[in-house]
Amino acid sequence: MPELPEVETTVRGLERVLLDRRIERVELRRPDLRRAMPEGLGQRLTGARVTGLRRRAKYGLIDTDREDTLVFHLGMSGRWRVDPSEVEKHDHVLLDTDDGHRVALNDPRRFGSLDLVRTSELDAWPAFAALGPEPLDISGRELRARLQGRSAPIKALLLDQRIIAGLGNIYVCEALYRAGIHPTRAGGSISLARLERLATAIREVLVEAIAAGGSTLRDFASPAGELGYFSKTFAVYDREGRACTCRSTVERIVQGGRSTFFCSRCQR
């Protein structure tokens, strides 16, 4: 499922075909994803030139010369298909460029979203206004400041986009494992030294996944369409009952309705 590394990879893939191109045609193949499609999406996008592609947290941003930014979230099964040979089931939006390329937003489970936001108003846009800092820039000190006084388990706090924006279940589990921190530990009770380790672990695990092209479970495809073109082996995620490198066994618990995978010998 797409997390920050997959979104980063997707944005870089889309950049290859969309940057500086004019969007010649927009086809909406259904009226909604998770929510209704933005008002006037087709008209506002048709004829616009793409001036930049960016990522914020788990959102991809497509800036245009009309001062509009198309903001997409891939949910858990979304992907952009680049130059698909044919339209497939669950291709919900098609964008055709002036030089003959096509990108298709495919999302079987429709947990994703599309929004068109005035570029100058992005920071105040409700979904963005409360977002915490980017995990790739996070420091131990900043983590400490944001976890101060919080009694909830560190696992749940790291998934809270207001505290740190862009981590999902997979990378939270992996980062906590690397940092040797038990997922049930109260966020506010972790020492600065261990939070420094955690900040480093978060940055490292994301950088490695981005370098590898975004990890994949069942339903992520790169923008070029090759399914499962990257396979990363997780240390703990989805490895319940299997051996940790310490020869102990990876455990699974449920926190806030989400599975947490960890090694109780390596994580304290």
What residues line the site for DNA (CB under 7 A)?
1, 3, 34, 57-59, 73, 75-77, 89-90, 108-111, 126-127, 150-153, 156-157, 159, 161, 168-170, 218, 256-259
Whether 258 is catalytic: yes
Closest to DNA by CB, 96 vs 132, is: 132
Closest to DNA by CB, 111 vs 229, is: 111
Distance between CA atoms of residues 127 and 131, nearest Å: 7
Helical (H) or strand (E) element with 15: helix 4-18
Closest to DNA by CB, 43 vs 149, is: 149
**Which residue intervals of 130-239 are DSSP H helices?**
140-147, 154-159, 169-179, 192-211
User: Could you say which of 2, 5, 153, 223 is catalytic?
Assistant: 2
Whether 3 is catalytic: yes
Give SS3 for 212. coil
Give the nearest distance from C-beta 130 to DNA in angstroms.
Answer: 8
Give the nearest distance from C-beta 237 to DNA in angstroms.
Answer: 7
Whether 2 is catalytic: yes
Distance between CA atoms of residues 175 and 177, nearest Å: 5
User: Could you say which of 3, 8, 174, 251 is catalytic?
Assistant: 3
Closest to DNA by CB, 40 vs 257, is: 257
Closest to DNA by CB, 21 vs 110, is: 110
Give the nearest distance from C-beta 262 to DNA in angstroms.
Answer: 13
Whether 58 is catalytic: yes
Distance between CA atoms of residues 46 and 95, nearest Å: 9
Give the nearest distance from C-beta 33 to DNA in angstroms.
Answer: 9
What is the amino acid identity at position 15?
E
Give the nearest distance from C-beta 47 to DNA in angstroms.
Answer: 29
Distance between CA atoms of residues 87 and 192, nearest Å: 51
User: Could you say which of 5, 6, 8, 58 is catalytic?
Assistant: 58
> What's the Cα-to-Cα distance from 55 to each of 21, 71, 73, 179, 261, rounded to whole Å?
19, 9, 10, 26, 27
Distance between CA atoms of residues 240 and 57, nearest Å: 28
**Which residues belong to the active site?**
2-3, 58, 258
